[in-house]
Structures are given as structure tokens and as C-alpha cells.
Amino acid sequence: MASRYRWVIVGAGGLLGCVAIGAMFALPVFLTPMAAETGWGRTGISSAMTIGFLTMALGSVGWGAFSDRYGPRPAALIGVALLAAGLALAAQARELWQFQLAFGGLVGLAAAAVLAPMMAAVTGWFTTQRSLAVSLVSAGMGMAPMTMAPLAAALIARYDWRQAYLILAGLVLALMLPAALLVRRAPAQKPADEAAPSQMTVAQALRSSPFLVLVLTNFACCATHSGPIFHTVSYAISCGVPALAAVSIYSVEGLAGLFGRIGFGLAGDRFGAKRVLVAGLFVQAFGALAYGFVSELDGFYAVAMLFGFTYAGVMPLYAVLARENFPMRMMGLVIGASGMAGSLGMALGPLLGGWIYDAYATYFWLYLISFALGIGAALIAATFRPFAEPARALAPAE
């Protein structure tokens, strides 16, 4: 029963993540009609997404710890309620700050309530094929911009933005509530299946070298790809690529990322998560650098396929490494902390790229710095060492 049901958890996690992240990524579709109807500035409306990502980063640790104590289903159910409420309140906003609070605060907090708890839950259900399972959940999340954004565009074409948000709130309840009710806490693992130290405390885990390496690697990894993700369209346009064609570079990256998640998941199961992660981080670094040497659309597409395949593919492996080295009872906290570091790394790239372009009128230095950060991430990951004989090392003295 448990063997069959674990794939239900994967499906539920992928759907929950897709809708939660998709609700956030639908905001750009609403930007123009919202600005026209309300008179709010585009910067102010767009900042709601920035607030959402910061809220998601800060909330990841708390929701991860919550799921460790109470289980992933209560976290997911609360996340569904917060997401529906945030979208419904955003539809009623009459002032910009009200929209920023509803969308940025509640929607970001809701996404955090889904992502870390579900990733932690999935890792607990698998002792084999774990990398593939986590990658499939991540692939579901990666489908968000390609599913929810077109849905939002179709709603905007037929309704005003307030009605569209209310409809999205209803769809959140219709799609996510049944999926959340399917979520169950992972069955207790046999001692032989627990690679992590059984006597490890939370304090020991947070001070341990594997945890620090995991967090630093995730930060550097996300700092590596965040700048190219945010600024490559602008760079392509500056190279003379038409705007609509330049935007399609994102689509190529996203499609390649879906294959990357599955490919890296299969490779992680076969060759080991750490080995595949280190290799992927090196390739990601050279992919970031390659953007600085292309100027034609075909070249951008080629680099986007490599870059999207690798940066999306490596991300699920952090959860796999966490599960292989820490007890399941603290998995939500560990994955949440790692996710928070990644979100902070994502916040670095856009700011760094904007500052570099304003100062030097070129993006080349952004790609060079991203390359250096990527090499740094790979070197940090290479220092990752599992706990050697953990039970004897950390068990109380007899």
C-alpha cells in the first residue's frame, strides 16, 4: 500500500506546487490591465511579487518546522486557505498597499506553506527512486508559468482583473483542496533505511558541516542563475533581437528545465545526488558564461537549452541530499532553511545585474560574475561530506 501510495504523494505535490507558484507567476499577466484600471504604477504592482518571494523565503523555515511537528497535510491545507484568501482579497484591494499586502504577504506565505512541507514529505516516502520522485514534484512546480499564466491570460481576455482573481481563488480551492487532502505523513522508516544520525538534535543539525555546505551551495547556485534569468531578455534586446523573440528565450529555458529535472533525477538515483549536483553546478556556471558570448537568436536558444536544463535539474537534488543526511523528523526545517537560502540568492541576481548595467552599460560582467559564483557553488558542493558513522559520533556517551 505504501509503495503504491507514494506516487500519489508525488502527484499531489506536483499539482499543489504548480498552482501555488503559478498563482504568483500570473501577476505579470495582470500588470497592464491593473495599471490601466487603477492608475497604480507598474513598479508598485510588480513589487508585490518581490514581497511575495521575500515572504516565501522567510516563511519556508517556519512552515518546514510546522510540518515536522504537525505533518504536511495541515501545512498544505492552511496554505490552500491562505492562497485562496490572498487572491480574493487582492481582487478587493482599493489601495496599492492593500494589494501588496494581500498578494505579496498572503500568497507568498501560502506558497511557503506548500513547497518545503511537500518536498520534505516526498523525500520521506521514498528509499529508492528518491531523486526521480523529488524531481517530478519539482517538474510540476516548473510547469506553473506554462499553465497558470496562459490560464490567467484567458481569464483577463474575458473578465476584468478583479473578477479574474476571484475566479483564480475558486480554482485554487477546487484544484488544491482535494490534492491537499491526499497528503499523508510518510510512514516510519526502518532503522536500516535511515542514513541520518538517529540521535541528532536540531541544534546539532543546524551547526553541522553538511547543513552549512547545503545552505551555502544553494545560495550560490541560485545567485548564479538568478541574474541571467532576469536580465537575458533585456540583453538579447540590446543585441538587436526583437522583443517578442527575446521573450521566447524564457520559454526555451523553461521547456529545457522540465527535461532537466527528470534527467537529473534519474542520474541522481543512478550515480548519487552529490556527484550529479557537483557536475551540474559546473555545467551551469559555463552556461551562464556562454550568454556573454552570444548575440544572435540561435545562439541564445542554444545556450538557453543548456542553461535551463542544468539550473532546473540541479535544484531538486538539495532536498535529496538533505534526506540522505538528516533525520526525517527535522526534514521540513532543513529543506525550508535551504530553500530560504536559495530564495535570498535569487534576490541577488536582479539587483546585481541592474547595478552592473547602469554602471558599465553592458551585461557581460554580470555573466562573468555569475560564472564565478557558479564555480564557487560547485566547489562548495564538492566539500559536502556525509556524516561518518553518525550514530556513534553523535550518540550520548554511555
> In this predicted structure, what is the pLDDT of residue 193?
52
Alpha carbon distance 283, 263 (integer Å): 14
Amino acid at 367: Y
Which residues, 6+ apart, have CB-to-CB distance to 11 below 8 Å? 140, 179
CA nearest neighbour of 284 among 335, 228, 338: 228
> What's phi and psi for 242, nearest 5 deg?
-55, 150
Alpha carbon distance 13, 102 (integer Å): 24
> In this predicted structure, what is the pLDDT of residue 33?
87
Q: What is the pLDDT of residues 372-383, one digit of tens each?
A: 999 999 999 999
In CATH terms, the fold of domain 202-385 is: Growth Hormone; Chain: A; (1.20.1250)
Q: What is the pLDDT of residues 312-330, one digit of tens each?
A: 999 989 988 998 888 888 8
DSSP 8-state code for residue 388: S
Indicate whether 91 pLDDT > 90.
yes
CATH superfamily for domain 2-186: MFS general substrate transporter like domains (1.20.1250.20)
Q: What is the pLDDT of residues 45-63, one digit of tens each?
A: 878 877 887 888 888 889 9
Give the confidence band of 196 by pLDDT, cuts at 50, 70, 90.
low
> In this predicted structure, what is the pLDDT of residue 380?
97
Across 192-196, 279-283, 292-296, 309-313, least confident range: 192-196
Indicate whether 188 pLDDT > 90.
no
> In the structure, how many helices (H) and strands (E) does the chain have?
18, 0
Alpha carbon distance 327, 324 (integer Å): 8
User: What are the cell numbers at 325?
Assistant: 543526511
The verdict on pTM exceeding 0.85 is no
CB neighbourhood size of 128 (10 A):
11
Query: What is the rounded average pLDDT for all residues in the chain?
Result: 87
SS3 content of the chain, % helix, strand, coil (to 5): 85, 0, 15
User: What are the cell numbers at 141?
Assistant: 512546480
Domain coordinates in residue numbering, the chain: 2-186, 202-385
Q: Which residue has the higher pLDDT, 389 or 144?
A: 144
Q: What is the pLDDT of residues 10-29, one digit of tens each?
A: 999 999 999 998 888 788 77
Mean predicted confidence (pLDDT) in 147-153? 80
Indicate whether 393 pLDDT > 50.
no
> In this predicted structure, what is the pLDDT of residue 191?
52
